[in-house]
Structure 1
Amino acid sequence: MSQWEQLLSLRKQGDKHKRLRHEQDETRLGFEVDYDRIVFSSAFRSLQDKTQVIPLSETDFVHTRLTHSLEVSVVGRSLGREVGKALIQKYPDLETHHGYKINDFGAIVAAASIAHDIGNPPFGHSGENALSDYFKHGKGKRFQPEINSQAYQDLCTFEGNANGFKLLTESKNGTIGGLRLSYATLAAFTKYPKASLPYKPTKNVEDKKYGFFQGEENFFHEVAEEVGLEPVKNAGAKRYHRHPLAFLVEAADDICYTIIDFEDGINLGLIPEELALEYLSKIISKRILPEKYAELKTTQNRIAYLRSLAIGELISEAVSIFMENEEVILAGEFHTDLLSQSKYKAQIKDIIEVSVQRIYKSQEVMDKEIAGYKILTSMLHDFTSAIENKLSGNETNFDDLVINNFLSHLDLEDMSTEKWLMEVTSYIAAMTDSEALRTYKKLNGNNL
């Protein structure tokens, strides 16, 4: 079996027999089924009301997690197809002997890309911080003696990527294997193929965060073994080098948030329009048609034109970098994101710095992140206290109301402390911004 053939495994959880590419129905290809299942999931639908940049924004054209994820999947599909074309030229046996097509690579990257934010809590990254801080610094510290060190680390550094893997794969309501995605898609989705412990930070991009909670660790090892991810030597625990296509998922996300968040900032009036041409000019100099740009009469149309050119150029750049380093990537020896190797890295850095100062640290963003922080930590305390009191036989009427109204889906009698703590935290993380706000108001008697 060639390395790429193994990396492109069509196996799904529960399969008894190997799925062969040349036996696939071309009208219903397994990797395309992955995409469809994600789109029809409730977790994906919730992204329409989750913050991308501006929390709870009342501005119609600002991106939500849903529109961001759709855009990342479009860019990811293009990246995957371009890389697939180059790989099949380099390894023709993939097509002639095994039946893989150019579009298979695009389908895997598109599916992993559209799911890349599916585990993120409400209110952006402040949501992750709020859930983490409750256990690390807040009243949730009381649970540390009751649970093992890895479960506690998962809670103290709550990670949207790991929660995404949980949502995509957890068995519930009689559904074994969650969405039953192909192992190739799950591996490409996992940008950080390691657990939260042992905590051994390095400068390698795959070590920046972690990719699965303790509860999903055994299943991730199964996925990694199936697709042939190389274990990291002398790591002290089972951790792996990335699936090569995870670099393309990351690049798709990087391209979109760099360019499109910048576009949002200009459309919101947080960034002057003249900065757009200044910062994007070196990226798009070979593509821009000055006469076409001059015909565009509105800021929104001019910025949309520049954005489309910049995304196209960065896609070509990322594909070139991937193929130049393909053998190093396969060997697990490539440890940076693709765009950090780009000839445009200085321009990308400048754009991100402007976005940080003028968008992410704008007063509107900070005000609403503070509100989101308060909402999530308050909810988490009410929920964990209610369960804690119920299990110890000291519940109040309010605790019973909380459990019956919000947590009746949990079979608490059969759960360990670390299990129900993670289920409650993941349940809150799955809420939309509006749902979290409504729940907070209900808990505080403000909905009457």
Structure 2
Amino acid sequence: MADRFTPYSSLAAYAVQADASRGRLHAEPADTTRSPFQRDRDRIVHSRAFRRLQYKTQVFIFHEGDHFRTRLTHSIEVAQIARSIARRLRLDEDLAEALALAHDLGHPPFGHAGEDALDAAMRTHGGFDHNAQSLKHVTMLERRYAAFDGLNLTWEMLEGLAKHNGPVRQPAQYIAEYDFRHSLDLASHASAEAQVAAIADDIAYNNHDLEDGLRARLFTIEEVAALALPGAGLEEAKLAHPGMAVERLAPEMVRRVISRMIQDVVAESQNRIEALAPADADAIRAAARPVVAFSAGMFEANKAVRAFLFERMYRHWRVNRTVGKSRRVVQMLFSLLHGGPQMLPDEWRARAGDAGTPRAARVVCDYIAGMTDRFALEEYKRLTDPSVPG
């Protein structure tokens, strides 16, 4: 048996090559049955942070309905789209999938409402950024292994988490701190695989929020049909299935739109790659612009969908009520625990130190960021309701 994993032979030269990985911060023996990126994916799937995504909000809080997306289902859907794109571009599917599965690990409870509340609470202590928190989870907060904190993922994974949206000119506090001791080349683009994971997130996010918004009756299928991109998908679905049942319209529309968007990304990316003629993955990183992107027309069509969702879903009065309540829960949790770290569980209390300090603020922030919606609500009751046991 070989003493190392045999790399794939069908990858393009510009793909990240598993046998040429820059390795892990803490050296480990090679695995003969899995590539380094397959091991990364497996470590993410078995992590506590990944399991907690099941009860973390996408838009709707977990108790509002079993069929709405959560951070977990969203991450799985992003991974599926990322693999589809990576396969057609001859990239490393395992790296793209692992990045997609890990991209939301740093999200706090209650979605963007929780993130905004934590960022405001941490304004004088370095702020809060969910991308930085994802990196922190996999490099420090996960404690599954005896030899190191975090998951000890490959450099390529950490690079992708830190800069999947492009070069990082003004890194968040933890990204800057980590980069100081283990450089992630923040000034360059990430690999094509990381770019695929980022654009797969965009594809999944908008389309599945459209479907969830329709399910919640925040808007109608007729209003969605007025938008060029979903409207074309809906018309195609109706032509293919005349007299289709109403409840099947949204999923039939969404799957066609996702297919159109994947085809657009693949075509545009192939054109950009052909023009760049990259000899290896480092040429992708050094390029003047991303190589994985929408065409100009698709970018504008998707932008219109995003604007519709912002106005009709994310600012809907029902969602606004949930956002307001969620922010207050996070604000109160932070205020109480920052001022009284003696109320933290033992492990967190020991790390927090004295009340009101910057150190306590960061530890409390990490504690809250790891909560699910359900746990945050329960913790809020335990800390504010004398009738609820602590």
Select the residue among 192, 196, 208 that pairs with 1:248. 196
Residue identity over aligned pairs, in percent, reads 26
1:305 aligns with 2:245: no
Match of 1:442 in 2: 382
Change (3 A) 1:380 1:281: closer
AA matched with 1:333: A
Query: Is residue 75–residue 100 contact of structure 2 (8 Å, CA) maintained in 1?
Result: yes
Query: Is residue 260–residue 307 contact of structure 1 (8 Å, CA) maintained in 2?
Result: yes
1:368 aligns with 2:322: yes
CA displacement, residues 250-291 of structure 1 (integer Å, 9 cap, x when unaligned) = 100000111111111112111211234443356549x93645
AA matched with 1:266: L
Change (3 A) 1:410 1:43: farther
**Structure 2 CA distance for aligned equivalents of residues 131 and 307 of structure 1:** 33
Change (3 A) 1:209 1:57: farther
Select the residue among 341, 344, 352 that pairs with 2:306. 352
1:183 aligns with 2:155: yes
Match of 1:34 in 2: 40
1:110 aligns with 2:110: no
SS of match in other structure, 2:297:
coil
Match of 2:333 in 1: 379
Select the residue among 90, 112, 115 that pairs with 1:128. 115
Match of 1:14 in 2: 26
Which range moves more in the overlay, 273-282 or 249-258?
A: 273-282
Change (3 A) 1:163 1:71: same
- Measured after TM superposition, the shift of residue 31 of structure 1 is 1.4
Query: Is residue 32–residue 107 contact of structure 1 (8 Å, CA) maintained in 2?
Result: yes
- Measured after TM superposition, the shift of residue 417 of structure 1 is 5.1
CA displacement, residues 18-49 of structure 1 (integer Å, 9 cap, x when unaligned) = x6xxxx63x43321222221111111111111
CA displacement, residues 122-151 of structure 1 (integer Å, 9 cap, x when unaligned) = 111111111121233xxxx5xxxxxxxxxx
Change (3 A) 1:378 1:414: closer
**Structure 2 CA distance for aligned equivalents of residues 40 and 378 of structure 1:** 31
Match of 2:8 in 1: none
Query: Is residue 352–residue 364 contact of structure 2 (8 Å, CA) maintained in 1?
Result: no
**Structure 2 CA distance for aligned equivalents of residues 416 and 359 of structure 1:** 37
Select the residue among 69, 72, 85 that pairs with 2:75. 69
SS of match in other structure, 1:325:
helix
Match of 1:264 in 2: 212
- Measured after TM superposition, the shift of residue 425 of structure 1 is 0.5
Query: Is residue 161–residue 212 contact of structure 1 (8 Å, CA) maintained in 2?
Result: no
Match of 1:168 in 2: 138
Match of 2:10 in 1: none
AA matched with 2:95: I
Match of 1:392 in 2: none
**Structure 2 CA distance for aligned equivalents of residues 298 and 12 of structure 1:** 51
SS of match in other structure, 1:338:
coil
Change (3 A) 1:16 1:368: closer
CA displacement, residues 100-124 of structure 1 (integer Å, 9 cap, x when unaligned) = xx5xx11111110111111011111
**Structure 1 CA distance for aligned equivalents of residues 311 and 381 of structure 2:** 32
- Measured after TM superposition, the shift of residue 213 of structure 1 is 3.8
- 1:222-241 equivalence runs, <5 A: 224=184, 229=185, 232=187, 240-241=188-189
**Structure 2 CA distance for aligned equivalents of residues 180 and 289 of structure 1:** 45
SS of match in other structure, 2:240:
helix
**Structure 2 CA distance for aligned equivalents of residues 370 and 428 of structure 1:** 17
CA displacement, residues 312-335 of structure 1 (integer Å, 9 cap, x when unaligned) = 121121122223223384423116
Query: Is residue 54–residue 72 contact of structure 2 (8 Å, CA) maintained in 1?
Result: yes
Select the residue among 314, 317, 326 that pairs with 2:264. 317
Change (3 A) 1:5 1:357: closer
- Measured after TM superposition, the shift of residue 434 of structure 1 is 1.1
**Structure 2 CA distance for aligned equivalents of residues 80 and 218 of structure 1:** 31
- Measured after TM superposition, the shift of residue 50 of structure 1 is 0.9
Query: Is residue 51–residue 124 contact of structure 1 (8 Å, CA) maintained in 2?
Result: yes
Match of 2:361 in 1: 421
**Structure 1 CA distance for aligned equivalents of residues 375 and 15 of structure 2:** 43
Change (3 A) 1:205 1:297: farther
**Structure 2 CA distance for aligned equivalents of residues 377 and 126 of structure 1:** 10
**Structure 2 CA distance for aligned equivalents of residues 131 and 416 of structure 1:** 15
Query: Is residue 199–residue 293 contact of structure 2 (8 Å, CA) maintained in 1?
Result: yes
**Structure 1 CA distance for aligned equivalents of residues 355 and 204 of structure 2:** 40
Which range moves more in the overlay, 115-124 or 269-278?
A: 269-278
**Structure 1 CA distance for aligned equivalents of residues 138 and 199 of structure 2:** 21
**Structure 2 CA distance for aligned equivalents of residues 175 and 414 of structure 1:** 29
**Structure 1 CA distance for aligned equivalents of residues 292 and 169 of structure 2:** 12
Match of 1:217 in 2: 179
- Measured after TM superposition, the shift of residue 351 of structure 1 is 1.3
Normalising by structure 2, report the TM-score: 0.82
AA matched with 1:131: L
**Structure 2 CA distance for aligned equivalents of residues 29 and 162 of structure 1:** 26
**Structure 2 CA distance for aligned equivalents of residues 349 and 3 of structure 1:** 29
- Measured after TM superposition, the shift of residue 188 of structure 1 is 2.0
Q: How many residues align?
A: 364
**Structure 2 CA distance for aligned equivalents of residues 49 and 250 of structure 1:** 22
AA matched with 1:359: M
1:44 aligns with 2:50: yes
